[in-house]
């Protein structure tokens, strides 16, 4: 039985529907002692923004209709599930909905349905539309500009993107796409300068409409190592352009990797939006093989208890985005949200910790 199936021992949350996680006990039965996991602190953390991804929902329905073009009943079911597991925020990736290509009436309908479930979308993520993709540079840059404009009209706070390109045929055929080789950014100074110039142009546009721009770390791109990612952001040189330190994208690779602790030390001062996910990893001491599989934040290679504390001490106040591949993605994201709330102070500290870089401005959440 999945966590989304009805349980007769649960009571109504909305309109007589079952509420997840509220078991009804028999008053005549003896009360069992609670375990440590049942009694551990789960602060309200009301000042922190924690969102879910939409990976758990198909981009195309069984009827062949894309989520972007779906009817209101599909959207209603999606946001009902998101609310049922405890999320009030969701990232809108353009794999599901392209705000730049949405009619105002459809936008208003989607926002109204989400709001009816108490869900808001504070960020848009443009993926696999690299602004230095050979032959697509101008098209993808224009699309990014249109998405920034749309995001502002939708009342969003963050425009998130990166330099990764569409999957190769080998990646599409693999069980886990990261086990097959993808595209690589060239070692070319002119292309590097084009990336800096393009992101600076997008950053200025975003600043004009009140948005942060966050660049996602991803292997084999100019955002694929800590040193390269920091250099890129530094050369862009705008306070509203920072990093999405998605180190999970790097630790999952089936090859030698940089120590995740060293990566975070370098990139956290530049973080302004954060995709969090984790992987169990095993590897040979001589680097001859490595294997990974998705898991929850608590059980993977990255020690998020330490990393989150470090980020908060450096001044991170941005959105945390729960991300998960495989299985019940939404359910794992909900588990990860509960875990993350045990790591955060109930309210973001009002004073920012020392940092080596403009982290307080890049990591600060917008009021």
Per-residue pLDDT of the chain in tens (367 residues, 90 and over written 9): 433 333 333 323 333 333 233 333 344 444 433 333 333 344 445 689 999 999 999 999 999 999 999 999 999 999 999 999 999 999 999 999 999 999 999 999 999 999 999 999 999 999 999 999 999 999 999 999 999 999 999 999 999 999 998 889 999 999 998 999 999 999 999 999 999 999 999 999 999 999 999 999 999 999 999 999 999 999 999 999 999 999 999 999 999 999 999 999 999 999 999 999 999 999 999 999 999 999 999 999 999 999 999 999 999 999 999 999 999 999 999 999 999 999 999 888 875 433 333 344 444 333 3
Can you tell me the distance from the alpha carbon of 231 to that of 223, in angstroms, rounded to the nearest whole number? 9
Residue 73 domain-assigned (yes or no)? yes
Whole-prediction pTM = 0.84
Instruction: Report if residue 310 sits inside a domain.
Output: yes
CATH assignment of the domain containing 277:
3.20.20.150
Taking the C-alpha atoms of residue 166 and residue 23, their distance in angstroms, rounded to an integer, is 44
6 is a domain residue: no
Does any domain span residue 2? no
Q: How many domains does the chain have?
A: 1
The residue range of the domain holding 210 is 44-363
Q: Residue 98: which of 84, 80, 113, 110 has the closest Cα?
A: 110
Confirm whether 304 is domain-assigned. yes
Is residue 9 one of the residues assigned to a domain?
Answer: no
User: How many other CB atoms are there within 10 angstroms of residue 354's CB atom?
Assistant: 10
**Digit-coded pLDDT (tens) for 91-137:** 999 999 999 999 999 999 999 999 999 999 999 999 999 999 999 99
- Nearest-angstrom CA–CA distance, 255 and 341: 32
Whether 150 is in a domain gets the answer: yes
Residue 185 lies in a domain: yes
């Amino acid at each position: 039985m999945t966590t989304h199936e009805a349980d007769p021992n649960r009571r109504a949350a909305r309109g007589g529907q079952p509420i997840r996680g509220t078991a009804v006990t028999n008053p005549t039965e003896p009360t069992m002692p609670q375990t440590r996991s049942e009694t551990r602190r789960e602060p309200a953390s009301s000042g922190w923004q924690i969102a879910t991804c939409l990976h758990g929902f198909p981009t195309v329905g069984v009827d062949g209709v894309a989520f972007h073009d779906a009817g209101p009943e599909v959207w209603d079911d999606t946001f009902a599930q998101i609310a049922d597991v405890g999320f009030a925020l969701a990232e809108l990736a353009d794999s599901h909905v392209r705000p730049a290509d949405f009619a105002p009436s459809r936008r208003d309908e989607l926002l109204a349905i989400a709001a009816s479930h108490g869900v808001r979308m504070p960020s848009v993520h443009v993926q696999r539309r690299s602004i230095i993709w050979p032959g697509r540079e101008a098209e993808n840059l224009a699309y990014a500009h249109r998405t920034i404009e749309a995001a502002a009209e939708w009342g969003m706070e963050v425009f998130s993107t990166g330099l990764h390109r569409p999957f190769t045929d080998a990646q599409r055929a693999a069980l886990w796409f990261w086990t097959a080789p993808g595209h690589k950014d060239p070692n070319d100074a002119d292309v590097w300068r084009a990336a800096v110039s393009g992101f600076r142009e997008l950053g200025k546009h975003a600043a004009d409409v009140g948005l942060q721009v966050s660049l996602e770390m991803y292997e084999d791109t100019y955002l694929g190592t800590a040193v390269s990612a920091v250099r890129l952001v530094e050369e862009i040189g705008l306070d509203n352009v920072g990093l999405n330190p998605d180190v999970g994208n790097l630790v999952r690779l089936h090859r030698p990797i940089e120590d995740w602790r060293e990566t975070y030390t370098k990139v956290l001062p530049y973080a302004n939006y954060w995709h969090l996910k984790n992987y169990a990893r095993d590897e040979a001491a001589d680097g001859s093989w490595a294997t990974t599989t998705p898991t929850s934040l608590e059980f993977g290679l990255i020690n998020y208890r330490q990393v989150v504390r470090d980020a908060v001490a450096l001044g991170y106040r941005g959105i945390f985005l729960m991300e998960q591949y495989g299985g019940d993605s939404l359910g794992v994201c909900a588990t990860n949200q509960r875990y993350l709330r045990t790591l955060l102070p109930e309210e973001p500290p009002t004073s920012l910790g020392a940092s080596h870089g403009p982290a307080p401005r890049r990591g600060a959440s917008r009021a």
